[in-house]
């Protein structure tokens, strides 16, 4: 080989070495970037983890806080509000009733025809998105929108205003309300992104009645009802063993039947049945046992209601998508696996919970739904399959934690009323040991997260079983009550109707389930 040949060969070898070195360098850097992202995920998963031991601590904390909230006004972050519902539907109600439901992303209008003997002869439901600007406008504008929607609904159903004159109406208002009777109450605070300042501390029913008369509708609000209470009412209509209800939708809440003498803050509370439905407002529950991450802390700090609704911010549909967005944002700042940092990643609520659920439940082999949602919602393009899988995993961690915490909340209620197979709690302390005979216990559930998000539902059901154990779990039944919040409120209007269309045996039924 001549000098030239040798020179060429050496040159080639050097070049190949350099290329190899560049490639190895790239691979090492890309591996490092990947490891950084995996570390973010691991840390998140670890802090958000909900082993059954931790869930049991949440169960106990929930039961203790319930006790404290019943003992004194302001005794707990759980408000444990009186509802003045001591008379749940029992199936004997009949007649046609209307109901309105405001509280989430959609406003709902309902008309039901009850035929007695536990029968619903017909029901119409209409959903309308609430225009965004009305959520932060004035109470008059919001209630005029509600009244006008009712007028149009009545007309669409072939009725004239005079045909509904004097009819009883159920009003589901899904925000914390201090009730002064079954058909009156003042708004304590807004949640779920609503913020109409002039409404706070105003009587909600008065606002509605005034708007109805402005538009010429002569109807009577017979029941002002939280959505959880409506769900309990429908649950009880179908099944007398229903003792509690849970809503997991845009927001979250629970209510249950309590003995009147356990409501210590209202000494001498007298009800015909000896019991009352308590609206827990569990969205505001807090305990140091909750697995809180830095993403939750940031979400809370940037929210409209910091230090408020802590449990809701870990569980409900308004927030889950946004937690996922925050984790992806953090990852994209640590590494370029999502490409250049998209500005959308810093925008709150751009990733909705339904989109997050769609990514989580994407069953296409190459996760094309995940790719599409990353593009449409977050302006993130062309991510490889392994990054899409990572996104699915983030959704899983967020949803699993939410569902398992909700499950712990449910068992907390059962513990408070002695339906979890343990000895329950007395004087605010958790008692150890087992109770006597377990009774069939039904919990009614409503809200899109549970009804439409299969993985969420499965995680929740599984966790209830895990916490209760296989001996007790078969006694506890979770039953979906589709549209329960609205239908139940129409039923409460019926069972408390001034028109006297229902019979009175329903009073006893509360006592039976306590
Ligand atoms: C409200 C509750 C409501 C729940 C579910 C929460 O934000 O405070 O009153 O029941 O959302 O809609």
* Higher pLDDT pick, 353 / 13: 353
Distance 393 CA to ligand 1 centre (A): 28
- Distance, in Å, from the CA atom of 514 to the CA atom of 505, rounded to the nearest integer, reads 16
pLDDT of 406 above 90 = yes
pLDDT band at 503 (very low <50, low <70, confident <90, very high): very low
pLDDT of 372 above 50 = yes
CA dihedral 333→339→344→349, nearest 10 degrees, is -70
pLDDT of 514 above 70 = no
- The three-state secondary structure class of 91 is coil
Position in ligand 1 atom list of the atom nearest CA 247: 5
Predicted local confidence at residue 499, as pLDDT: 57
pLDDT tens digit sequence for 336-346? 999 999 999 99
pLDDT of 423 above 80 = no
Angle at 164 between CA 158 and CA 166, to 5 degrees: 180
Do the beta carbons of residue 306 and residue 284 sit within 8 Å?
Answer: no
Lowest-pLDDT range, 52-61, 114-123, 293-302?
A: 114-123
Q: How far is CA 86 from each of CA 41, 256, 432, rounded to the nearest angstrom? A: 48, 11, 31
Predicted local confidence at residue 118, as pLDDT: 87
Predicted local confidence at residue 163, as pLDDT: 77
Minimal-distance CA residue to ligand 1 atom 9: 175
Do the beta carbons of residue 486 and residue 230 sit within 8 Å?
Answer: yes
Position in ligand 1 atom list of the atom nearest CA 177: 9
pLDDT band at 428 (very low <50, low <70, confident <90, very high): low
Lowest-pLDDT range, 24-28, 247-251, 392-396, 480-484?
A: 24-28
- Mean pLDDT score of the chain: 90
CA dihedral 353→358→361→364, nearest 10 degrees, is -160
Predicted local confidence at residue 32, as pLDDT: 86
The label of the residue with tokens 């909750």 reads: 290
Can you name the residues that pair with 119 across neighbouring β-strands?
none
Q: What is the 3-state secondary structure (H, E, C) of 66-89?
A: HHHHHHCCCCCCCCCEECCCCCCC
Tokens of 317: 């549909």
> DSSP code of 182?
T
Predicted local confidence at residue 271, as pLDDT: 84
Predicted local confidence at residue 506, as pLDDT: 35
Report, as residue numbers or ranges, the catalytic residues. Answer: 108, 174, 227
Minimal-distance CA residue to ligand 1 atom 7: 251
pLDDT tens digit sequence for 30-54? 788 899 999 999 999 999 999 999 9
Phi first, then psi, for residue 332 (nearest 5°) are -70, -20
Nearest alpha carbon to residue 227 among 513, 502, 440, 485: 485
- The three-state secondary structure class of 138 is coil
Q: What is the 3-state secondary structure (H, E, C) of 354-419?
A: HHHHHHHCCCCCCCHHHHHHHHHHHCCCCCCHHHHHHHHHHHHHHHHHHHHHHHHHHHHHHHHCCC
Predicted local confidence at residue 497, as pLDDT: 77
- Distance, in Å, from the CA atom of 246 to the CA atom of 306, rounded to the nearest integer, reads 24
Pairing of strands 425-426, 429-430: antiparallel
Determine the straight-line distance between the first and last CA of the chain, rounded to whole angstroms. Answer: 100
Minimal-distance CA residue to ligand 1 atom 2: 175
Q: Mean pLDDT, to the nearest integer, of 192-200?
A: 94
pLDDT of 6 above 80 = no
Phi first, then psi, for residue 496 (nearest 5°) are -115, 25
pLDDT tens digit sequence for 300-327? 999 999 999 999 999 999 999 999 999 9
Minimal-distance CA residue to ligand 1 atom 6: 251
- Testing ligand 1's pocket by substitution, the residue of 179, 226, 255, 353 carrying the most ligand atoms inside 8 A of its CB is 226
- Distance, in Å, from the CA atom of 346 to the CA atom of 208, rounded to the nearest integer, reads 38
Helix axes 385-416, 353-360, angle to 10 degrees: 110
Predicted local confidence at residue 2, as pLDDT: 60
pLDDT of 205 above 80 = yes
pLDDT of 385 above 90 = yes
Tokens of 453: 């998000």
pLDDT band at 158 (very low <50, low <70, confident <90, very high): confident
Distance 251 CA to ligand 1 centre (A): 5
Position in ligand 1 atom list of the atom nearest CA 226: 10
pLDDT tens digit sequence for 446-490? 999 999 999 999 999 999 999 999 999 999 999 999 989 999 999
Q: Mean pLDDT, to the nearest integer, of 79-100?
A: 92
Phi first, then psi, for residue 437 (nearest 5°) are -70, 140
Q: Which residues contact 474 (CB under 8 A, 6 or more apart)?
A: none
Lowest-pLDDT range, 41-45, 72-76, 264-268, 309-313?
A: 264-268
pLDDT of 171 above 80 = yes
pLDDT band at 509 (very low <50, low <70, confident <90, very high): very low
Predicted local confidence at residue 369, as pLDDT: 98
Lowest-pLDDT range, 18-27, 209-218, 381-390?
A: 18-27
- The three-state secondary structure class of 175 is coil
Predicted local confidence at residue 16, as pLDDT: 64
Can you name the residues that pair with 255 across neighbouring β-strands?
245, 279
Distance 58 CA to ligand 1 centre (A): 20
Distance 464 CA to ligand 1 centre (A): 22
Ligand 1 binding residues, C-beta < 6 A = 103-104, 174-176, 191-192, 226-228, 247, 249, 251-253, 281, 283, 312
Pairing of strands 220-225, 168-173: parallel
Distance 388 CA to ligand 1 centre (A): 33
- The percentage of residues in the chain with a pLDDT greater than 90, rounded to a whole number, is 77
pLDDT band at 159 (very low <50, low <70, confident <90, very high): confident
- Distance, in Å, from the CA atom of 244 to the CA atom of 254, rounded to the nearest integer, reads 7
pLDDT band at 513 (very low <50, low <70, confident <90, very high): very low
Nearest alpha carbon to residue 246 among 272, 274, 285: 285
pLDDT of 425 above 80 = no
Minimal-distance CA residue to ligand 1 atom 12: 251
């Amino acid at each position: 080989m001549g000098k030239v040949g040798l020179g060429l060969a050496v040159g080639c070898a050097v070049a190949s070495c350099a290329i190899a070195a560049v490639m190895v360098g790239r691979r090492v850097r890309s591996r490092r970037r990947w490891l950084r992202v995996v570390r973010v995920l691991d840390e998140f998963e670890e802090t958000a983890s909900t082993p059954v031991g931790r869930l049991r601590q949440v169960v106990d904390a929930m039961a203790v806080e319930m006790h404290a909230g019943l003992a004194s006004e302001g005794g707990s972050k759980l408000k444990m509000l009186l509802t003045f519902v001591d008379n749940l539907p029992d199936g004997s109600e009949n007649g046609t009733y209307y109901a309105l439901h405001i509280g989430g992303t959609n406003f709902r209008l309902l008309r039901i025809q009850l035929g007695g003997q536990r029968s619903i002869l017909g029901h119409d439901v209409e959903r309308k998105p609430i225009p965004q600007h009305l959520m932060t406008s004035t109470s008059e504008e919001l209630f005029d929108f509600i009244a006008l929607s009712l007028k149009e609904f009545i007309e669409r159903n072939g009725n004239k205003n005079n045909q509904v004159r004097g009819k009883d109406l159920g009003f589901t208002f899904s925000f914390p309300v201090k009730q002064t009777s079954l058909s009156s109450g003042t708004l304590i605070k807004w949640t779920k992104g609503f913020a109409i300042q002039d409404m706070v501390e105003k009587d909600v029913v008065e606002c509605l009645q005034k708007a109805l008369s402005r538009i010429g509708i002569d109807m009577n609000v017979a029941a002002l009802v939280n959505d959880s209470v409506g769900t309990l009412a429908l649950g009880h209509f179908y099944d007398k063993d229903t003792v509690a209800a849970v809503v997991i939708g845009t927001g979250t809440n629970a209510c249950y039947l309590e003995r009147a003498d356990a409501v210590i803050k209202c000494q001498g509370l007298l009800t015909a049945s000896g019991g009352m439905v308590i609206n827990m407002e569990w969205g505001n529950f807090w305990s140091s046992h909750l697995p809180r991450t830095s993403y939750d802390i940031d979400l809370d700090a940037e929210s409209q209601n910091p230090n408020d609704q802590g449990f809701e911010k870990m569980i409900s549909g308004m927030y889950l998508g946004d937690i996922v967005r925050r984790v992806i944002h953090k990852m994209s700042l640590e590494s370029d696996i999502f490409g250049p940092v998209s500005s959308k990643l810093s925008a709150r609520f751009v990733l909705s919970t339904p989109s997050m659920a769609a990514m989580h439940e994407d069953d296409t082999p190459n996760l094309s739904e995940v790719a599409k949602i990353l593009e449409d919602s977050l302006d993130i393009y062309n991510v490889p399959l392994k990054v899409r899988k990572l996104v699915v995993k983030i959704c899983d961690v967020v949803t699993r934690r939410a569902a398992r915490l909700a499950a712990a909340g449910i068992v907390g209620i059962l513990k408070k009323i002695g339906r979890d197979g343990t000895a329950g709690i007395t004087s605010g302390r958790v008692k150890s040991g087992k109770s006597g005979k377990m009774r069939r216990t039904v919990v009614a559930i409503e809200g899109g997260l549970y009804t439409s998000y299969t993985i969420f539902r499965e995680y929740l059901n599984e966790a209830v079983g895990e916490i209760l154990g296989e001996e007790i779990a078969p006694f506890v039944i979770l039953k979906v009550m589709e549209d329960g919040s609205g239908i139940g409120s129409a039923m409460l209007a019926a069972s408390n109707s001034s028109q006297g269309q229902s019979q009175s045996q329903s009073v006893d039924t509360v006592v039976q389930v306590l």
